């Protein structure tokens, strides 16, 4: 007897009565004989160390300790924040520690400071022996908020605890303050004996500066009122959520930073079949509208930007054993996305309130979205002095979407291709000069899903590619800077569902390959390159949404380099244990571009 892939999901969904969010491709390890060790195990997301992590913090502020037990439907937990007194710092790290023991679903969580989101994270599925992890994030770019006295830190982590789902998430949050300049001074005594160290340190300072460039002077949160978390809950594509803002008239640069995660019927949006497939086969699943999604940013009625998010897979996703103890790319520190809104300053600088809103194309319930509007103001132009700006050429953005599908019963294929292309130029006249900027952007999305063997085998192939080129010209027309950023998010998932010999159970086989690839090239600035790839393979026997037994391997390669720093790590895990782990922070044949180095 063949158990049908889709029927499996349908019955699986139908038999699940919800106070919990629905989970498709989504499991817990309840029932799994987890007996590998009796010790609490550390989970981790592979990333490079923070550039200042080897310095001793000038001060540490342990701001919150909280056990998230039955928190479903409750407002966020909060604590009062003020920067430490008498502490000199230039950089700040947020440290989010968590531990849990028992059985539990992965949960989504976020940390807001003064209403601005500073971390979106998800939890790892615990085991009976217990697990713990640490997320360290450079939050220096939120400096203009971190200097404020007596503001509120809020944390949302909705969890449900009962006889079956016993895992409570225990969370500690700290801020670590670093003085990178002070290290410069303390290092001067080493100077004569080690000039190289000194130079490296200077470059470190420069590099830290260029990482996000200078932090914004002002950050305006575009977020909800906080009663259900400060994020907006987007249920479908006709919803546009946002807030009205008034920005200072001496603003010369504006960037919107968007935090986003997908849940419920859209948690695995990239694997959803089209509605026609569902209807044709009389399926009752609500996970349709496949398989293109795009987050849109509006100012008033105008679309001003968009992004296709990296598909972050939470730790119950696809095969929960993939994520023991190496979690999926972005699972502990979900990426945020920056869109330059400077071209629209002409619209925003009129002193009036403008609506900044977010929507998700083709979405079904639900998406959690909010944003921070980072503003740089001309400090040599004190209000009511006004920065002047004007859009020049505005080639109408091109948008194309092509969908095709062909099905015979539960077999067949569906393809979606989307392309967005825009080019614009504008000038800004501030006390920094009369600068003209040209921004070219191209976003390409391609998805193909194939169903075989009466729908019991499903192959998903998705590619997202983005290219952004920014050129800044001086008033004499000379190029001041030119930056090119390329990003690629390829994703391949193969999954097969078979009847299992055990009664009422299903055998599921899967293979996943996904990657975050990014290259930044800059004339007169810093360049960097990042490749972060995971390949997972596994099997499991499931009953309802519980994994009874199985096996999995995960291999990850992480490789980062910029003008001064390199970091690479090759790590793998098999059946919940790390088997190989090699890290290297030496730059192999480093192509040092800094003039100061060639002088050595
Ligand atoms: C699991 O743990 C129990 C008790 O700690 C032990 O009796 C049993 O032998 C273990 N099973 C395996 C497969 O390691
Ligand atoms: C601030 O710190 C410095 C050096 O650590 C110390 O000398 C000074 O007394 C401190 N001031 C206050 C007000 O605590
Ligand atoms: C968080 O974890 C790190 C290491 O994993 C540890 O050094 C730090 O003390 C922990 N912080 C808190 C507040 O528990
Ligand atoms: C949180 O901090 C408390 C007190 O310092 C400590 O006992 C606990 O182990 C910490 N938990 C985590 C997850 O870091
Ligand atoms: C901090 O803010 C709270 C409420 O917003 C207020 O009750 C409290 O007095 C403030 N504390 C200080 C030191 O300003
Ligand atoms: C806050 O937002 C929620 C959800 O949008 C809404 O239901 C609630 O009424 C709002 N509360 C306040 C005090 O505005
Ligand atoms: C979208 O959701 C709103 C409720 O938030 C509902 O009123 C509306 O009918 C929905 N639209 C579609 C197309 O489903
Ligand atoms: C779907 O339902 C319709 C009407 O009940 C029926 O005519 C059709 O044969 C069904 N299709 C499949 C594939 O079961
Ligand atoms: C830029 O602003 C300065 C000072 O306000 C003004 O003198 C100059 O004419 C402006 N340049 C252009 C090209 O508008
Ligand atoms: C394919 O699945 C349908 C629906 O469950 C079933 O009626 C049909 O017999 C299956 N065909 C084969 C060849 O297994
Ligand atoms: C499978 O389970 C059903 C109901 O629980 C039972 O009637 C049937 O005998 C079982 N079959 C086997 C092969 O164990
Ligand atoms: C781990 O490393 C060993 C030797 O270094 C190698 O033989 C093995 O293939 C590696 N395993 C994985 C899963 O990469």
* Total structural domains within the chain: 1
Residue nearest to atom 3 of ligand 12 (CA): 580
Tokens for 278? 């569902």
- Does residue 144 sit within a domain? yes
pLDDT for residue 217? 95
What is the rounded distance in angstroms from the CA atom of residue 174 to the CA atom of residue 49?
17
580 Cα–ligand 12 center, Å = 6
Pocket test for ligand 9, best of 428, 429, 475 (most atoms within 8 A of CB): 429
Query: Can you tell me whether residue 91 is helix, strand or coil?
Result: strand
Q: Which of 137, 258, 259, 140 is nearest to 210 (CA)?
A: 140
As for ligand 6, residues whose beta carbon falls within 6 Å of it are 224-225, 227-228
Pocket test for ligand 3, best of 121, 137, 172 (most atoms within 8 A of CB): 172
As for ligand 3, residues whose beta carbon falls within 6 Å of it are 62, 95, 97, 134, 172, 174
Q: What are the CB-based long-range contacts (under 8 Å, 24+) for 548-554?
A: 548/31, 548/32, 548/502, 548/505, 549/32, 549/33, 550/32, 550/319, 550/321, 551/321, 551/575, 552/319, 552/321, 552/322, 552/324, 554/322, 554/323, 554/326
pLDDT for residue 395? 72
Asked if 333 and 121 count as a contact pair (C-beta separation under 8 A), the reply is yes
Closest-approaching ligand to the CA atom of 59: 2
pLDDT digits (tens, 9 = 90+) for 181-240: 765 443 333 333 333 344 444 444 444 444 446 899 999 999 998 888 999 999 999 999
Say which residue, 444 or 29, is predicted with more confidence. Answer: 444
Q: Which of 10, 13, 8, 11 is nearest to 23 (CA)?
A: 13
pLDDT for residue 384? 81
Residue 143 is classified by DSSP as H
Residue nearest to atom 7 of ligand 11 (CA): 503
Closest-approaching ligand to the CA atom of 504: 11
Closest-approaching ligand to the CA atom of 129: 1
3 Cα–ligand 8 center, Å = 19
As for ligand 12, residues whose beta carbon falls within 6 Å of it are 555, 572, 579-580
pLDDT for residue 213? 67
The total number of residues shown for the chain amounts to 600
- Does residue 599 sit within a domain? no
| Four-residue CA torsion sign, 185, 189, 190, 191 | positive
Please state the rounded mean pLDDT for residues 432-449.
94
Residue nearest to atom 1 of ligand 6 (CA): 225
- Does residue 1 sit within a domain? no
- Does residue 595 sit within a domain? no
38 Cα–ligand 1 center, Å = 10
pLDDT digits (tens, 9 = 90+) for 496-507: 999 887 778 899
- Does residue 593 sit within a domain? no
- Does residue 594 sit within a domain? no
User: Considering the entire predicted model, what is its pTM?
Assistant: 0.89
Tokens for 246? 């008034």
- Does residue 46 sit within a domain? yes
Taking all residues of the chain, what is their mean pLDDT, rounded to a whole number? 87
Pocket test for ligand 8, best of 282, 284, 408, 412 (most atoms within 8 A of CB): 282
Tokens for 235? 């249920």
Please state the rounded mean pLDDT for residues 480-501.
93
- Does residue 67 sit within a domain? yes
Domain ranges, residue 557: 8-584
pLDDT at 412 over 90: yes
Residue with tokens 């599921």, as numbered in its chain: 508
pLDDT for residue 8? 31
For the CA of 454, the closest atom of ligand 10 is 1
Residue nearest to atom 13 of ligand 8 (CA): 281
Residue 483 is classified by DSSP as E
pLDDT digits (tens, 9 = 90+) for 41-87: 999 999 999 988 889 999 999 999 999 999 999 999 999 999 999 99
Residue nearest to atom 10 of ligand 9 (CA): 429
């Amino acid at each position: 007897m063949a158990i049908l892939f889709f029927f499996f999901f349908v019955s699986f969904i139908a038999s699940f009565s919800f106070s919990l969010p629905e989970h498709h491709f989504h499991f817990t390890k309840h029932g799994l004989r987890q007996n590998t060790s009796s010790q609490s195990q550390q989970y981790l997301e592979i990333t490079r160390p923070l550039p200042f992590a080897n310095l001793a913090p000038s001060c540490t502020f342990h701001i919150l300790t909280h056990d998230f037990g039955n928190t479903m439907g409750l407002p966020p937990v909060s604590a009062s924040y003020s920067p430490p007194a008498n502490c000199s710092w230039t950089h700040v790290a947020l440290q989010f520690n968590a531990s849990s023991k028992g059985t539990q679903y992965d949960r989504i969580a976020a940390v807001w400071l003064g209403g601005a989101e500073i971390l979106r994270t998800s939890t790892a599925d615990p085991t009976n022996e217990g697990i713990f992890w640490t997320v360290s994030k450079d939050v220096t770019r939120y400096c203009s908020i971190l200097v404020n006295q007596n503001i509120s830190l809020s944390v949302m982590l909705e969890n449900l605890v009962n006889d079956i789902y016993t895992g409570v998430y225990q969370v500690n949050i700290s801020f670590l303050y670093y003085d990178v300049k002070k290290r410069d001074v303390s290092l001067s005594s080493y100077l004569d004996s080690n000039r190289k160290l000194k130079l490296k340190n200077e470059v470190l300072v420069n590099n830290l500066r260029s990482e996000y460039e200078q932090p914004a002077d002002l950050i305006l949160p575009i977020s909800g009122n906080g009663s259900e978390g400060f994020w907006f809950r987007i249920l479908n594509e006709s919803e546009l959520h946002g807030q009205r803002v008034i920005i200072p008239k001496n603003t010369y640069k504006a960037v919107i930073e968007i935090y986003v995660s997908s849940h419920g019927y859209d948690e695995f949006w990239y694997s959803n079949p089209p509605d026609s497939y569902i209807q044709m086969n009389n399926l009752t699943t609500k996970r349709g509208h496949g398989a293109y999604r795009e987050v849109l940013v509006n100012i008033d009625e105008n679309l001003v930007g968009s992004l296709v998010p990296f598909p972050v897979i939470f730790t119950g996703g696809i095969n929960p054993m993939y994520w023991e103890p190496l979690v999926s790319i972005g699972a502990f520190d979900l990426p945020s996305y920056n869109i330059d809104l400077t071209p629209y300053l002409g619209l925003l600088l009129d002193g009036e309130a403008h609506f900044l809103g977010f929507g998700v194309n083709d979405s079904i319930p639900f998406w959690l979205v909010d944003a921070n509007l980072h503003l740089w103001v001309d400090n040599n132009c004190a209000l009511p002095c006004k920065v002047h700006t004007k859009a020049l050429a505005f080639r109408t953005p091109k948008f194309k979407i092509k969908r095709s599908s062909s099905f015979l019963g539960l077999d067949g294929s569906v393809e979606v291709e989307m392309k967005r292309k825009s080019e614009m130029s504008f000038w800004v006249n501030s006390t920094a000069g009369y600068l003209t900027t040209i921004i070219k952007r191209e976003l390409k999305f391609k998805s193909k899903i194939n169903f075989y063997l009466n729908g019991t085998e499903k192959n998903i192939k998705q590619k997202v590619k983005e290219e952004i080129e920014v050129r800044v010209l001086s008033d004499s027309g000379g190029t001041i800077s030119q930056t090119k950023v390329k990003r690629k998010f390829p994703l391949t998932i193969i999954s097969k569902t078979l009847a299992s010999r055990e009664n009422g159970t299903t055998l599921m086989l899967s293979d996943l390959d996904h990657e975050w690839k990014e290259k930044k090239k800059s004339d007169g600035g810093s360049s960097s390159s990042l490749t972060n790839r995971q390949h997972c393979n596994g099997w499991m026997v499931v009953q309802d949404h519980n994994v009874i037994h199985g096996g999995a391997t995960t291999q990850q390669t992480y490789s980062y380099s910029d003008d001064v720093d390199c970091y690479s790590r090759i790590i793998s895990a098999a059946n919940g244990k790390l088997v190989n782990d090699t890290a290297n922070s030496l730059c192999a044949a480093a192509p040092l571009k800094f003039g100061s180095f060639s002088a050595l």
